[in-house]
Structure 1
Amino acid sequence: MRWSECVEQVREFGQYPTTREAERVIRVVLSALGGHLGDAERAALAARLPPEAARVLGSQVPASRPLRGAEFVEHVALRLGGAGQDTARWDVSSVLSTVAQLAGDELTDRIIDRLPEGYALLFGRAQLV
């Protein structure tokens, strides 16, 4: 998938009024996610994303501590300029659901398994206990 197609998919899924807004959300969410993935998962995911998205994901340093799903949404809310929790959760899900489609089931499951609790729903998956 090309960058423009990825942006358009997120724009449609997230119902963003402009391509620019969708791009901004993608960049913020992927940069936040990049710091929470291990090297192997980050590299595998980057290989399945458009080059522009892969650069954003891959350029992040590891997070100082892993964030649970709800904390991740709060972190993204701050990076989006203080968006509300519901808006940030929508933004994260819009991007990560698209990422899950690009990654495929096996890699998405592996990523979710390695992240702390609470990410499955953000990727559009059921949270199994």
Structure 2
Amino acid sequence: MTTPTTLTTVPAQPAAARPEPPAPASARTTEHRTWEQLIDAVRESGQYATAKEAERVTRIVLSALGGHVTGEERVALARSLPERAARLVAAQIPVTSPLTAAEFVDYVAARIEGATPATARWDVSSVLGVLPQVTGDDVVDRVLAALPSGYALLFGRPELMPAA
């Protein structure tokens, strides 16, 4: 025999006042991240003063990355990003010869007015460092495997060297 339970009601809060619980890290995919959330994450990561500045840097870095990631890895990356970010990646013509990580940073620096290699590295890392939260680790692992060594640090990961 079961005992009847008493339900107590809590006054409902307006939907806007109720905070939404964060999605678990494993569930943070395109469905849980929007363009605005991506920009907010980049803004926080890079400590940018405005969302506009974070958006400008995000557009430049993702466009540059889109030309350097090719094949199935590029498709997987685009599929795992919010739509606007996916379009930036997919719209780029693939480069014929991939750049080293240092050359990639210099490539981005040339596209940001007043950038130095140090500030461009900050910008690149601020954008690429949030991608694992958005795309998932599996996609980032695939992208890193397709890029020349040295990119892992730009994604906020240690660069592991194979044992000699």
TM-score bin (small chain):
over 0.9
Q: SS in structure 2 opposite 1:62? A: coil
1:105 aligns with 2:137: yes
Task: Give me the whole-angstrom Cα distance separating, in 2, the residues matched to 1:23 and 1:7.
Answer: 6
State the 1:81 CA deviation.
Answer: 2.1
CA RMSD of aligned residues (A): 0.9
Please state whether the residue corresponding to 1:57 is helix, strand or coil.
helix
Deviation at 1:64, TM superposition (A): 2.7
Tell me how far 1:110 sits from its aligned partner: 1.4
Higher helix content, 1 or 2: 1
What 5-or-longer segments of structure 2 have no aligned partner?
A: 1-32
SS in 2 for 1:47: helix
Structure 1 stretches of 4+ moved >3 Å: none
Of residues 128, 150, 155, the one that matches 1:118 is 150
Paired position in structure 2 for 1:86? 118
* In 1: Cα distance, 2:141 partner to 2:99 partner: 18
Distance 1:8 1:107 in 2: 21
Match of 2:61 in 1: 29
- Give the CA deviation at 1:82: 4.2
- TM (norm. structure 1) is 0.96
Once the two structures are superposed, the pairs formed by residues 1-129 of structure 1 within 5 Å of their partners are 1-129=33-161
CA radius of gyration, larger in:
2
